Chain A
């Protein structure tokens, strides 16, 4: 038994050595470690991870797209513990997670980057340029609501529905009810799992307003409206790649430029379109990502 395990180990080490050596030989001009990308466990994040992964792969980078898992907490932890090298996250959410008490204007994307950048830098990760694509918080009502802005809801006695996380966040429920911000008096609140159930509850009249994300495809399809955030409560939620500094340095400045170029190309409309394809047409994220990259001519070398 001992001999077998020993032999196995030797074989595995040998195989690993061959793989490493082979990998080094195959690459053309650029060389560096495998870039491990992992999306968070919801379809938009999965598609985004596929877009960045396939894009980098087509440019000759050694990429491994891991099975999506967890949410922001797990993503940041994995990045810090060297389990992944690249995550793409929403900067407003990053701000809430990393510096919830920073007294900055959370609607200002540059201010957010200036705050979360150093926090990641200290942990060995670099926040790259943020994309114009935004998936922000949306205060959603039925199409027949008389409100145009969130302030209009104050006197309507609405029933409010949102995921559990909303009820402890100053940019969410606490801000809506804070007399110094919106001062809304909801007649009741319901905790609903984040996702399509929010739309079902709204359509059924169980609740009159829900907090969803702006790119939820059901909003347009089910005839809901997103109210204007007239008090500027919602943080800016542009997407931005956050990459291990060591990996970034190993590959050189080309990687940074490549990622920044891609981020600049993605728009909010792209996010909505991807979500319609994955959530309503039930297509696979990797196919959706490949098609988009092909249309933009980003897969051709």
Chain B
């Protein structure tokens, strides 16, 4: 308990950015970058996991059945117009009155609303636009509907699905710091404390950390895509690309 004031002691105002980032305590302390970053990553992973479970199956199924295209697009467009911060800020008092506390429900729901549109739309579009000839050929070869969806359509569409995951993940990671303004912590705490304490080093340092995490997220999803895309599909794409005389 005695350690608390020291842990909470403010970062000196005149400190340089390198000096702050170079201090081991900045990284390892109880409110350090590593533990704050872990908070952020945990919440974002939970949001993305839930979002993928909620958005991908219905999107894939509806696209396979060629149903609900207009409804889906309309809902998604509407979803994109929802201001994340306003949603979270409106949910906080509700959560508090119900005894759920500041975290994690308000920010979790707000971020989930942010993640669902790109996940849903990319999956739907990807599967909807798989070459109809390929699907018919598979059907003629005796593929069942389930096999067509998983082994033909989803396999061919997977890199576009991953684009949706990457876009959603980067948005979620870059937006998660608003949590620090709503009674939580996470990486946004440095920007919040910097604003409140008039400390530019904290604001800039915090913003850099968030940007770095968002960039890392994008990279990680890309690597994940490399590992996941079926070998045959990747070879197919490379062949198509070289035949067109361009890469990518």
Binding site for B on A (CB under 8 A): 73, 163-165, 167-168, 173-174, 177-178, 185-187, 189-193, 196-197, 200-201, 203-206
Chain A residues whose C-beta falls within 8 Å of the C-beta of B92 in the assembled complex? 197, 200
Contact for B196 among A163, A174, A186, A196, CB less than 8 A: A163
| Known contacts A167-B193, A200-B97, A206-B101; A185 and B1 CB within 8 A of each other | yes
| Known contacts A163-B196, A185-B4; A197 and B10 CB within 8 A of each other | no
Distance (whole angstroms) from the CB of B34 to the closest CB of chain A: 19
In the assembled complex, 29 residue pairs joining A and B whose CB atoms fall closer than 8 Å, in A order, are A164-B195, A164-B197, A165-B198, A167-B193, A167-B197, A168-B9, A168-B10, A174-B5, A177-B4, A177-B5, A185-B1, A185-B2, A189-B4, A189-B8, A190-B102, A191-B183, A193-B181, A193-B182, A193-B183, A197-B92, A197-B93, A200-B93, A201-B96, A203-B97, A204-B96, A204-B101, A206-B96, A206-B102, A206-B183
> What separation, in Å, do the CA atoms of A205 and B102 have in the docked complex?
11
Contact for A164 among B2, B5, B182, B196, CB less than 8 A: B196
Interface of chain B: mostly helix, strand, loop or mixed: helix
Contact with A along B1-19 (1 / 0, CB 8 A): 1101100111000000000
Chain A residues whose C-beta falls within 8 Å of the C-beta of B5 in the assembled complex? 173-174, 177-178
* Chain A, Cβ-Cβ closest to B6: A177
| Known contacts A164-B196, A167-B193, A201-B102; A191 and B10 CB within 8 A of each other | no
Known: A168-B9, A178-B5, A197-B93. 8 other contacts (CB 8 A): A168-B197, A173-B8, A189-B4, A193-B183, A197-B183, A201-B102, A203-B96, A205-B99
> What separation, in Å, do the CA atoms of A138 and B194 have in the docked complex?
23
Contact assessment for A165 and B96 in the assembled complex, using a CB-CB cutoff below 8 Å: no
Chain B residues whose C-beta falls within 8 Å of the C-beta of A167 in the assembled complex? 8-10, 193, 197
Contact for A204 among B97, B182, B193, B198, CB less than 8 A: B97
Asked whether B128 is an interface residue with its Cβ less than 8 Å from the other chain, the reply is: no
Chain B residues whose C-beta falls within 8 Å of the C-beta of A190 in the assembled complex? 102, 183
> What separation, in Å, do the CA atoms of A163 and B192 have in the docked complex?
9
* Chain A, Cβ-Cβ closest to B195: A164
Of residues B2, B92, B181, B183, which shows the largest number of chain A Cβ atoms within 10 Å of its Cβ? Answer: B183
> What separation, in Å, do the CA atoms of A203 and B195 have in the docked complex?
26
Contact with A along B196-229 (1 / 0, CB 8 A): 1110000000000000000000000000000000
Asked whether B189 is an interface residue with its Cβ less than 8 Å from the other chain, the reply is: yes
* Chain A, Cβ-Cβ closest to B94: A200
Contact assessment for B189 and A191 in the assembled complex, using a CB-CB cutoff below 8 Å: yes
Asked whether B76 is an interface residue with its Cβ less than 8 Å from the other chain, the reply is: no
Asked whether B138 is an interface residue with its Cβ less than 8 Å from the other chain, the reply is: no
> What separation, in Å, do the CA atoms of A191 and B96 have in the docked complex?
15
* Chain A, Cβ-Cβ closest to B197: A168
**Residues B76-109 near A (CB distance < 8 A):** 92-93, 96-97, 99, 101-102
Chain B residues whose C-beta falls within 8 Å of the C-beta of A164 in the assembled complex? 192-193, 195-197
> What separation, in Å, do the CA atoms of A47 and B9 have in the docked complex?
35
| Known contacts A200-B97, A203-B96, A206-B102; A73 and B183 CB within 8 A of each other | no
Chain A residues whose C-beta falls within 8 Å of the C-beta of B189 in the assembled complex? 191
Chain B residues whose C-beta falls within 8 Å of the C-beta of A191 in the assembled complex? 180, 183, 185, 189, 192-193, 196
Chain B residues whose C-beta falls within 8 Å of the C-beta of A163 in the assembled complex? 196
Chain A residues whose C-beta falls within 8 Å of the C-beta of B198 in the assembled complex? 73, 165
Chain A residues whose C-beta falls within 8 Å of the C-beta of B9 in the assembled complex? 167-168, 174
> What separation, in Å, do the CA atoms of A164 and B180 have in the docked complex?
10
Contact assessment for A165 and B196 in the assembled complex, using a CB-CB cutoff below 8 Å: yes
Chain B residues whose C-beta falls within 8 Å of the C-beta of A178 in the assembled complex? 5
Chain A residues whose C-beta falls within 8 Å of the C-beta of B183 in the assembled complex? 190-193, 197, 201, 206
> What separation, in Å, do the CA atoms of A232 and B238 have in the docked complex?
75
Chain B residues whose C-beta falls within 8 Å of the C-beta of A193 in the assembled complex? 181-183
Chain B residues whose C-beta falls within 8 Å of the C-beta of A203 in the assembled complex? 96-97
Chain A residues whose C-beta falls within 8 Å of the C-beta of B180 in the assembled complex? 191
> What separation, in Å, do the CA atoms of A197 and B5 have in the docked complex?
23
* Chain A, Cβ-Cβ closest to B7: A189
> What separation, in Å, do the CA atoms of A218 and B73 have in the docked complex?
44
> What separation, in Å, do the CA atoms of A167 and B8 have in the docked complex?
7
Of residues B5, B92, B97, B102, which shows the largest number of chain A Cβ atoms within 10 Å of its Cβ? Answer: B5
Contact assessment for B197 and A165 in the assembled complex, using a CB-CB cutoff below 8 Å: yes
Distance (whole angstroms) from the CB of B96 to the closest CB of chain A: 4
* Chain A, Cβ-Cβ closest to B191: A164
> What separation, in Å, do the CA atoms of A298 and B93 have in the docked complex?
40
Chain A residues whose C-beta falls within 8 Å of the C-beta of B99 in the assembled complex? 204-205
Of residues A165, A168, A173, A178, which shows the largest number of chain B Cβ atoms within 10 Å of its Cβ? Answer: A168
